[in-house]
Amino acid sequence: MPLGEILISQKEIGRRTKMLANEIRKHYQGSPVVFLGLLNGGLFFLADLLRNIPDPVEVECWRLKSYLGETVHSSGKVNGFEHASGHFKGNHVVVVDDILDSGLTLSEVRAHLLNIGAQSVKTCVLLDKKRASSQPVKADWVGFEIANQFVVGYGMDYNGYHRNLPDIHLFVPETAKTEHKF
Ligand code: 5GP
Ligand code: MG
């Protein structure tokens, strides 16, 4: 059974999400903000974070992919910008994603937003994966720092499955035993 133990429970996620929402509210003090959720992984976190932000904010979502198919390794490329649209010019934007791994996704999204005229871009991730190699971006708000392990649940998938789990689990695919990275 590749689905491993619970790393972060639903309850811990809920508590931390409330704290992050309060920090973000304090930062913007009611100024207009556009929240940009990155799908599919950031879907659950975005929804729970925003339910703790009662201010009048705008919400947009982009669907980007860096992991393709049955793999626990990034493709090294972010796909999907051709469908990215929304009301960002002149606005403060908070990008919300599930996990900061190589940092490629957030750095490309950030550059794209600044390029189309966003006034400022900040980032909020539920998880920050500690890796040996340095990341090109730091997230402004981080829920939890985790070790360099593959996780699923609470929006995060393996080949499309397990997003619906309420807790975050460790995940070791059967094939990973033969892959040198594990
Ligand atoms: P990055 O571009 O920072 O390498 O990767 C960001 C995206 O890769 C995340 O938003 C997430 O969708 C996916 N990702 C990175 N690490 C994991 C992981 O441990 N589990 C899952 N399910 N997705 C991950
Ligand atoms: Mg993602």
- Predicted pLDDT of residue 137: 82
- Predicted pLDDT of residue 154: 98
Which protein residues touch ligand 1 with a CB less than 6 Å away?
A: 41, 66-67, 74, 97-105, 129, 150-152, 156-157
Query: Is the preceding omega at residue 40 within 30 degrees of 0, hence cis?
Result: yes
Please tell me the distance between residue 58's alpha carbon and the centre of ligand 1 in angstroms.
25
Residue-by-residue pLDDT tens, the chain, 182 positions: 578 999 999 999 999 999 999 999 999 998 999 999 999 999 999 999 999 999 999 999 999 877 666 666 666 677 777 767 778 999 999 999 999 998 999 999 999 999 999 999 999 999 999 876 777 789 999 999 999 999 999 999 999 999 999 999 999 877 554 444 43
Mutation pick for ligand 1 pocket among 39, 96, 99 (CB with most ligand atoms within 8 Å):
99
Domain ranges of the chain: 11-147
- Predicted pLDDT of residue 179: 46
Q: How far apart are CA 158 and CA 36, in angstroms?
A: 23
- Helices and strands in the chain: count of H runs, count of E runs: 3, 8
- Predicted pLDDT of residue 114: 95
Overall pTM surpassing 0.85 (yes/no) = yes
- Predicted pLDDT of residue 133: 74
Ligand 1 atom with the smallest distance to the CA of 152 is 22
Please tell me the distance between residue 105's alpha carbon and the centre of ligand 1 in angstroms.
9
Please tell me the distance between residue 99's alpha carbon and the centre of ligand 1 in angstroms.
5
CATH C-level class of 11-147: alpha beta
- Phi–psi pair at 165, nearest 5 degrees: -70, 135
- Write out the catalytic residue numbers: 101
